[in-house]
């Protein structure tokens, strides 16, 4: 008996579950006719090589830590580019360890890839300021390579920028990078939303932000399927030998891509269309929406929304427990207003910030505020997903 098919997904204008839900638009297809046709596994595809080179050189400035030449490797996802980076760096594991923020995607959302694929001890660290890891958090938790055979010395540290929509301050990235490299520890950046950090930075030329950050790291993942709006893809950036090893591991894990030209060409098209203008627009729309929503609920309903993280780019993280909103009520009013939500995280992208979309989203919360004027909040309900 064939499984029932999901209904056609035709628009992400009411979808606030994630910035991964943007969909191809009619003008994407005009790109297909001219896309190159080479086999990417043999590095013969022009559009794919162009994209890898564009991210490594034009976007990131061509240089990584220690002046290493930057090279790009096109991957099907950022989970793959992160896991390939970690496996490629941890080529001497076991018995070594890697350290990351305990909220990091590589730790929470990559299906234990760190343990299985890199066979590494993972040291998840809570940030002492609740915003980003500081050097002292790392120094208090890393494992020094002091020859003690009971231990698994830390050989890799993975940072994430943005993390939960929060921008990692450059000066702290620099402090951590300087210390890591004097300790002989490699540094990877999960830059799935580095676009958003760049567009929210003070840099006038947003590419200058990338050029500043890239030389702090030994490898960087740059996602194309979130705020950039491509349907597929990520580019892993690293040195020449690192890329060779990552490409070998990519083939081993079945991640080699044949005629990737049309995917790469659409990704290039999306970068041109959305960076930096639309990504800046989304950031502004997110903070304006949050200010308006908070004020309306407080002044008109006496209902105070609480955040679990500051609003800095394209996410609003509402702390449901502190705001006294239970998940059933949230999702019920989401559905009644035809708004897709996972939980208290609201993700904004270039397809859900039109006026009609934001009006619907706001009404979800005014309806909730109204509801709680005559109903009890249920504190015992399943808590929201811990991102
Ligand atoms: C910070 C971060 N890194 C990596 C990923 C993984 O990206 P992908 O969905 O392309 O595997 C995500 C989510 O998509 C993410 O939010
Ligand atoms: C769930 C996670 O994999 C995805 N990156 C998101 O933020 O929605």
Considering every ligand atom, which ligand is closest to the CA of 166? 1
Instruction: Tell me which residues have their CB closer than 6 angstroms to ligand 1.
Output: 20, 77-79, 82, 105, 160, 190, 192, 223, 225, 234
Query: Rounded to whole angstroms, what are the CA distances from 308 to 67, 130, 317, 362, 387?
Result: 38, 9, 6, 19, 11
**What confidence score (pLDDT) does residue 379 get?**
84
Ligand 2 pocket, 385 CB below 6 A? no
**pLDDT 10s digits, 203-251:** 999 999 999 999 999 999 999 999 999 999 999 999 999 999 999 999 9
Walking along the chain (387 residues) 10 residues at a time, the average pLDDT comes out as: 93 98 93 94 98 98 98 98 96 84 98 92 97 98 96 97 98 98 98 98 97 98 98 98 97 96 97 98 98 98 98 97 95 97 97 98 98 92 60
Atom in ligand 1 nearest the alpha carbon of residue 162: 1
Cβ 68 vs Cβ 127: under 8 Å: no
Whether the Cβ atoms of residue 261 and residue 36 lie closer than 8 Å to each other: yes
CB 13 within 8 A of CB 352: yes
Phi, psi at 326, each rounded to 5°: -90, 155
How much is the pTM? 0.97
Ligand having the closest approach to the CA of 21 = 2
- Alpha-carbon distance of 157 to 63, in angstroms, equals 19
Give residue 93's pLDDT: 60
Residue located nearest, by CA, to atom 1 of ligand 2: 109
- Do the beta carbons of residue 306 and residue 319 sit within 8 Å? yes
State residue 43's pLDDT score: 97
- Residue in the block written with tokens 């022009």: 46
CB 244 within 8 A of CB 88: no
Question: Exposed, middle or buried, 361 (CB in 10 Å: 0-12/13-18/19+)?
Answer: buried
Assess if CATH 3.40.1190.20 describes domain 35-273.
no
- Spans of all domains in the chain: 1-25+276-387, 35-273
What is the distance in A from the centroid of ligand 2 to the CA of 226?
Answer: 9
**pLDDT value at residue 181:** 98
Are β-strands 186-191 and 154-160 bridged in parallel, bridged antiparallel, or unpaired? parallel
Tell me, what's the pLDDT at 92? 66
C-beta 13 within 6 A of ligand 2: no
Question: What is the number of the ligand closest to the CA of 103?
Answer: 1
Spatial distance between the Cα atoms of 374 and 257, rounded to a whole number of angstroms: 56
CATH number of 1-25+276-387: 3.90.1150.10
pLDDT at 317: 97
Query: Do the domains 1-25+276-387 and 35-273 sit in the same CATH topology, yes or no?
Result: no
Give the position, in ligand 1's atom list, of the atom nearest the Cα of 225. Answer: 10
Sheet of strand 234-238, all strands in order from the earlier edge strand to the far edge: 71-75, 234-238, 219-223, 186-191, 154-160, 97-101, 121-125
pLDDT score at 383: 60
Phi, psi dihedrals of residue 149, rounded to the nearest 5°: -75, 0
């Amino acid at each position: 008996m064939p499984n029932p098919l999901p209904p056609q997904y035709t628009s992400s204008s009411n979808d606030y579950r994630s910035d991964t839900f943007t969909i191809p638009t009619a003008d994407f297809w005009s790109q297909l006719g001219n896309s190159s046709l080479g086999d990417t596994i043999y590095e013969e595809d022009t559009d794919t090589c162009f994209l890898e080179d564009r991210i490594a050189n034009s976007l990131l400035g061509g240089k990584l830590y220690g002046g290493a030449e930057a090279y790009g490797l096109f991957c099907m996802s950022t989970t793959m580019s992160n896991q390939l980076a970690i496996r490629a760096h941890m080529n001497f594991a076991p018995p070594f360890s890697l350290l990351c923020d305990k909220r990091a995607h590589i730790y929470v959302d990559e299906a234990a890839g760190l343990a299985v694929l890199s066979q590494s001890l993972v040291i998840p660290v809570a940030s002492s300021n609740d915003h980003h890891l500081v050097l002292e958090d790392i120094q208090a938790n890393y494992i020094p390579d002091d020859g003690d055979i009971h231990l698994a010395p830390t050989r890799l540290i993975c940072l994430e920028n943005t993390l939960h929509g929060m921008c990692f301050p450059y000066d702290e990235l620099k402090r951590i990078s300087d210390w890591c490299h004097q300790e002989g520890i490699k540094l990877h950046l999960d830059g799935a939303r580095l676009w958003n950090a760049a567009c929210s930075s003070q840099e006038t030329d947003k590419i200058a932000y990338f050029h500043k950050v890239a030389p702090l790291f030994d490898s960087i993942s740059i996602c194309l399927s979130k705020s950039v709006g491509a349907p597929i893809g990520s580019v892993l950036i690293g040195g020449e030998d690192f890329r060779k090893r990552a490409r070998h591991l990519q083939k081993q894990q079945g991640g080699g891509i044949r005629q990737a030209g049309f995917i790469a060409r659409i990704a290039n098209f999306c970068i041109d269309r959305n960076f930096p203008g639309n990504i800046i627009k989304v950031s502004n729309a997110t903070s304006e929406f949050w200010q308006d929503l908070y004020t309306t609920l407080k002044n008109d309903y006496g209902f105070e929304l609480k955040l679990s993280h500051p609003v800095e780019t394209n996410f609003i993280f509402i702390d449901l427990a502190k705001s006294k909103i239970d998940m059933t009520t949230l999702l019920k009013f989401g559905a009644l207003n035809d708004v897709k939500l996972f939980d208290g995280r609201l993700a904004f992208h270039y397809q859900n910030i039109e006026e009609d979309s934001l009006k619907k989203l706001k009404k979800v919360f005014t309806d909730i505020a109204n509801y709680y004027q005559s109903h009890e909040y249920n504190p015992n309900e399943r808590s929201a997903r811990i991102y």
